Amino acid sequence: GQSLEQPSEVTAVEGAIVQINCTYQTSGFYGLSWYQQHDGGAPTFLSYNALDGLEETGRFSSFLSRSDSYGYLLLQELQMKDSASYFCAANMDSNYQLIWGAGTKLIIKP
């Protein structure tokens, strides 16, 4: 079957760096997206990796290794407002469908 695996929960301290991993098993693969969702809110797009390597957008970076079927989201200088759930999602053969991970709840402690 097709699936994405990510940790259910990660805890970090304000000001620190945290990495959220995502491994995928899909029949085809075009790229990996990351979304953030605050409690009670809508998921919002963070990043997309189609090629191997690191993509940086401010405090957030996303990495992809196609050979390892693995990606991660890196959050630096953590702020309390980063407390949210983070989802990885993979594009497969179809351009319209994403396969989603179950989400990682990021808990930030002061």
Partner 1 sequence: DVKVTQSSRYLVKRTGEKVFLECVQDMDHENMFWYRQDPGLGLRLIYFSYDVKMKEKGDIPEGYSVSREKKERFSLILESASTSQTSMYLCASSLGGSGNSPLHFGNGTRLTVT
Where do contacts with partner 1 occur on this chain (CB under 8 A)?
A: 4, 8, 30-33, 35, 41-45, 48, 50, 87, 89-91, 95-98, 100-103
CB of 44 to partner 1, least distance (A): 7
CB of 106 to partner 1, least distance (A): 15
Residue with smaller CB distance to partner 1, 43 or 66: 43
Nearest to 74 by CA among 91, 89, 55: 55
36/78 with CB nearer partner 1: 36
Measured from the CB atom, the residue of 56 and 77 that comes closer to partner 1 is: 56
> In this structure, how many other beta carbons lie within 10 angstroms of the beta carbon of residue 35?
21
Burial classification of residue 10, based on how many CB atoms lie within 10 Å of its CB (0-12 exposed, 13-18 middle, 19 or more buried): middle
d(CA 38, CA 1): 29
